[in-house]
Chain A
Amino acid sequence: QLVESGGGSVQPGGSLSLSCAASGFSFSNYWMNWVRQAPGKGLVWVSLININGGITAYADSVKGRFTISRDNTKNTVYLQMNALRAEDTAVYYCARPRDGGYYLDFWGQGILVTVSS
C-alpha cells in the first residue's frame, strides 16, 4: 500500500513536506509519482522520480518550488513544497507506475494540503 502523510494547512509562501510510505512491493524497483487534485477539479501530474533518484521531473506549475526525493532504505518518497500558493491547495496522491509502464496502476489514498491565510 501507499500511505501519504504530512499534509495540513499552511499560509501562502510557506513550506510543507509530504511523505509517502510504501509497503507490499519492492519499492526500490519502481519509479514514483505525485499527482494532485484541487477540490472539485481534475487530476494534475506534479512530479516523478526514478528508482535511484537520478532522474526527476516536474510540472511547469511547480518547477523550482517543489522537490521530489526518495529513501529506498525507508521505502518512502517525499515531496518538499516551498513558496506555496493558494492554487497549490489540493489532495496530493502518490502513485506507482506499472513496472516499465507509462501509466499509474497503484495509488495512495491522498492527503489534503490547504494553502490559505
Chain B
Amino acid sequence: QSALTQPRSVSGSPGQSATISCTGTSNDVGGYNYVSWYQQHPGKVPQVIIYDVTKRPSGVPDRFSGSKSGNTASLTISGLQAEDEADYYCSSYAGSYIFIFGGGTKVTVL
C-alpha cells in the first residue's frame, strides 16, 4: 500500500494549463478505472472534482479534465484561475476494498 506518486508542486499563470501526474502500479491505477481527484483549499474539506478517471461531478467546471495511460493518471486544469490555487490529491482503488491516495500536489497560480 504505497502512496501514489504526485509532483509536490505545479505552477502556472492565469489562463495557462497545468497538468498533475499520478503514478501508481498495475495493482491500482493501471488495474482499475477508478481514479478520482480531490481539490482541497487551505482549512477546507476535500472535494471530488474527477471520478472514474475522466468524469466530472455536476458543478465542477469543465476546465478540469482527467485521463489515464498505463499506470499513470493525469489531471489537467485548462485556463488556470486564481481560485484553482489549492492542493490536489489523486486516489485509486487498489482491489480488496483498499484505496490509496497520492501524496498531494500544491498548485500555485502565479
Contacts and interface: CB of A to CB of B under 8 A. Distances in A.
A37 to B, nearest CB: 9
Contacts, number: 68
B97 A103 contact: no
9 contacts: A43-B38, A48-B99, A93-B46, A102-B36, A102-B93, A103-B52, A103-B91, A104-B38, A104-B46
Interface residues of A, number: 25
Given A48-B99, A59-B1, A103-B51, A43 B89 contact: yes
Contact of A43 (B1, B46, B51): B46
A33 B48 CA distance: 15
| Chain B interface category by residue count | 20 to 34
A33 B47 CA distance: 15
Contacts of B101: 35, 42-45
A98 B40 CA distance: 18
A102 B34 CA distance: 6
B45 interface: yes
Contacts of A107: 45-47
Contacts of B32: 102
A100 B78 CA distance: 29
A59 B101 CA distance: 11
Contacts of B45: 93, 107-110
A108 B1 CA distance: 24
A102 B51 contact: yes
Interface in B30-79: 32, 34, 36, 38, 40, 45-48, 51-52, 57
Nearest to B103: A42
Given A101-B51, A110-B45, A57 B102 contact: no
Given A48-B97, A102-B52, 12 more contacts: A35-B101, A41-B104, A42-B3, A42-B104, A43-B89, A44-B3, A57-B97, A102-B32, A102-B99, A104-B38, A104-B91, A107-B45
